């Protein structure tokens, strides 16, 4: 599923938050109905409403009941939160860095070494706890995948960590939940939860160099990609492109979206993004390459689309 909703949960952490939310909603609804009933009785009850002005009514419903109800909800909420934030030994570790306005994603090996880097899409195996190490290089961002877990801020100069797992395979949309600048609303990402037995193969494939183009148009696109200086900002492993400013594009074609979840990933949107990045997402760090002609754009887009 691609819908972003805190009401559709697919993991234990989000499930606990959902349960707490529904209990809070139910408690608030019950209190609202009680207040409405008392108000109606006070307005329309006539002589029978005198008991509501008594001292006992104020003590029971004005003091005792709010204290009891709020205490129960507070204790339950704290207990549920402590359980949902308890840490296990993670099956894997992923480091996510908030950028302007996209997500740099490092897969970290068991010895703490970075195995490879990708962008704007995170793949995890189902049914196992994954630790997320959250950082930012510019301003405060907030990492949030509502169907899987709560939000956690990414603060400059600080490393925040939390864990969650996906209970079933699927595609879950995430979003920056802290205003971070002009294109905050266009700073999304996807978490793809895969069957556990398929995940090691994907992990191994991601560590390989980029695939070679198999068509004449793809070969031309690779030549243009290098010649126009794209490699100054982007890395494509297996080529001379080794830039670190922008996203790693080694397996770019396998991602579901471009520009941090802003557009679907296909040759048409790739060409449009290359030519008009500043029009589509103003003030991002990708310049618009309006100097490229239609056939050149199609060649570069074809090359990138096939980097899988």
Same domain as 202, residue 96 = yes
Contact of 306 with 250, CB cutoff 8 Å:
no
**Residue 211 is assigned to a structural domain of this protein:** no
**Residue 27 is assigned to a structural domain of this protein:** yes
State which residues form the domain around 282.
Answer: 216-305
Residues 6+ apart with CB under 8 A from 41: 48, 49, 52
Based on the structure, what is the number of domains in the chain?
Answer: 3
The CA distance from 283 to 270, in Å, is 18
Residues 6+ apart with CB under 8 A from 87: 129, 131, 163
User: Residue 45's pLDDT band (boundaries 50, 70, 90)?
Assistant: low
Residues 6+ apart with CB under 8 A from 110: none
**Residue 3 is assigned to a structural domain of this protein:** no
**Residue 227 is assigned to a structural domain of this protein:** yes
Same domain as 111, residue 202 = yes
State residue 1's pLDDT score: 47
262: closest CA among 276, 250, 251?
276
| pLDDT at position 192 over 80 | yes
**Residue 1 is assigned to a structural domain of this protein:** no
User: Residue 55's pLDDT band (boundaries 50, 70, 90)?
Assistant: confident
**Residue 60 is assigned to a structural domain of this protein:** yes
Same domain as 128, residue 232 = no
Same domain as 244, residue 164 = no
Same domain as 198, residue 102 = yes
User: Residue 95's pLDDT band (boundaries 50, 70, 90)?
Assistant: very high
Please tell me the pTM assigned to this model.
0.87
CATH number for the domain spanning 279: value is: 2.60.40.420
Same domain as 75, residue 109 = no
Same domain as 226, residue 128 = no
Residue at which a domain ends, from 206, 236, 264: 206
Same domain as 239, residue 199 = no
**Residue 6 is assigned to a structural domain of this protein:** no
Which pairs count as long-range contacts for 285-293, CB under 8 Å and 24+ apart, including other chains? 285/100, 285/233, 285/245, 285/246, 286/233, 286/246, 289/228, 292/224, 292/228
Same domain as 226, residue 183 = no
Per the model's pLDDT, the better-predicted residue between 194 and 48 turns out to be 194
State residue 53's pLDDT score: 62
Residues 219-240 pLDDT 10s: 999 999 999 999 999 999 999 9
**Residue 252 is assigned to a structural domain of this protein:** yes
Same domain as 171, residue 134 = yes
Residue at which a domain ends, from 206, 229, 258: 206
| pLDDT at position 102 over 70 | yes
Same domain as 201, residue 96 = yes
Same domain as 180, residue 107 = yes
Residue at which a domain ends, from 206, 241, 259: 206
Average of per-residue pLDDT across 110-133: 95
């Amino acid at each position: 599923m691609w819908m972003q909703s805190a009401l559709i949960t697919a993991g234990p952490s989000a499930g606990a938050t959902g349960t707490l939310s529904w209990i809070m909603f139910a408690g608030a609804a019950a209190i609202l109905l009680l207040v409405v009933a008392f108000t109606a009785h006070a307005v329309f009850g006539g002589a029978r409403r005198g008991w509501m002005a008594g001292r006992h009514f104020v003590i029971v419903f004005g003091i005792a009941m709010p204290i009891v109800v709020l205490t129960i909800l507070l204790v339950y909420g704290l207990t549920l939160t402590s359980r949902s934030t308890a840490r296990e030994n993670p099956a894997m570790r992923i480091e996510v860095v908030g950028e302007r306005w996209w997500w740099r994603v490092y897969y970290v090996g068991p010895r703490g070494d970075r195995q490879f880097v990708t962008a704007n899409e995170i793949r995890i195996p189902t049914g196992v706890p994954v630790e997320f190490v959250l950082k930012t290089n510019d301003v405060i961002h907030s990492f949030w995948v509502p169907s899987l877990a709560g939000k956690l801020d990414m603060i400059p100069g600080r490393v925040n960590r939390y864990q969650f797992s996906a209970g079933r395979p699927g595609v879950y949309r995430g979003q920056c939940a802290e205003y971070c600048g002009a294109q905050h609303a266009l700073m999304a990402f996807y978490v793809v939860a895969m069957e556990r037995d398929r995940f090691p193969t994907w992990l191994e494939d991601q560590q390989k160099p980029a695939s070679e183009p198999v068509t004449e148009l793809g070969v031309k696109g690779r030549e243009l990609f290098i010649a126009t200086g794209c490699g100054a900002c982007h890395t494509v492993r297996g080529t001379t492109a080794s830039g670190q400013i922008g996203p790693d594009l080694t397996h770019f074609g396998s991602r579901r979206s471009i520009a941090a979840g802003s557009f679907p990933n296909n040759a048409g949107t790739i060409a449009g993004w290359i030519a008009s990045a500043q029009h589509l997402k103003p003030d991002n760090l990708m310049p618009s390459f309006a100097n490229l002609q239609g056939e050149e754009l199609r060649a570069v887009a074809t090359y990138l689309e096939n980097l899988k």
